[in-house]
Amino acid sequence: MLTLYSYWRSTTSYRVRVALNLKGLSYETVPVDLVAGAQRAPDYVVRNPSKGVPTLVLEDGTALTQSLAILDYLDHVAPDPALLPEDPLLRARVLAAGQVIALDIHPVNNLKVVSRLKSEHGLSADQGTEWMRHWMTEGFHAYQALLPDGPTYSFSDTPLLCDICLVAQLYNAHRWGVDMTPFARLLEIEKQALTLPAFDAARPENQPDAT
């Protein structure tokens, strides 16, 4: 059995939950309470020196870190359904779109980053929220500009890596009140994805540690 160290509201954990579900891989969830600092406990840091979630622990005890690396691993060991297309050029487009979310938005809005802005640089709660909204808005504009017309999901009629990153990030966008008026296409993708059991079961509110 796979073990996923995860936090319900973590969008990177959400990505891995969706991928595991899409591929039909069962796993046990071990909650890591980021707000309480459980990610900094010494026995956790041995598995994940970045002091974050998710960590996927394989049956033999091997710990894998970084959500995109975990998705790549799952795509190699459980290739059906594929999270990335075979054609190198389309693959590069799907990866680039996913990275708009995973690199341009998520790290800058990460809990530890926003917490440091507040604790070390005096940002108020409202300024922290505005900070997050800014990077999401910028990133969603870039993401939407990369999309072709036509497919149900971003590049295809089945969800791929970039759709997983997008849907997880949209949870945060709603949570923090991003004005989604310019992003109708992204909301359509989200709506479609959340009809799939693999996405629905992975939603933050459906996790054992949701409060």
CA–chain centroid gap for 167, Å, is 8
Least separation in angstroms between residue 31's CB and a copy of itself is 21
Q: Which is nearer to a copy of itself, 2 or 194 (CB)?
A: 2
Residues that bind a copy of itself (CB under 8 A): 49-52, 62, 64-66, 68-70, 72-73, 76-77, 88-89, 91-93, 95-96, 99-100, 102-104, 106-108, 110, 113, 116-117, 121, 123, 127, 134, 139, 141-142, 145-146
Residue burial 128-159, b: 16+ Cβ < 10 Å; e: rest = bbebbbebbbebbeebbeebeeeeebbbbeeb
**CB of 170 vs a copy of itself, minimal distance in Å:** 18
Smaller CB distance to a copy of itself: residue 51 or 185?
51
Give least dist CB 206 to a copy of itself, A. Answer: 26
Which residue(s) pair with 64 in the sheet? 56
Nearer to a copy of itself, 113 or 187 (CB): 113
Measured CA to CA, the distance from residue 162 to residue 1 in angstroms comes to: 26
Q: Residue 5: which H helix or E strand, with range?
A: strand 2-6
Q: What are phi and psi of 26, to 5 degrees?
A: -85, 150
Strands 55-57 and 2-6: antiparallel
Which residue's CB is nearer to a copy of itself, number 56 or number 170? 56
Cα–Cα distance for residue pair 47/182, rounded to 1 Å? 41
Give me the least distance between CB of 162 and a copy of itself, in Å please.
10
**C-alpha to C-alpha distance for 45 and 49, rounded to whole angstroms:** 5
Choose between 18 and 95: whose C-beta lies nearer to a copy of itself.
95
Smallest gap from Cβ 129 to a copy of itself, in A, equals 13
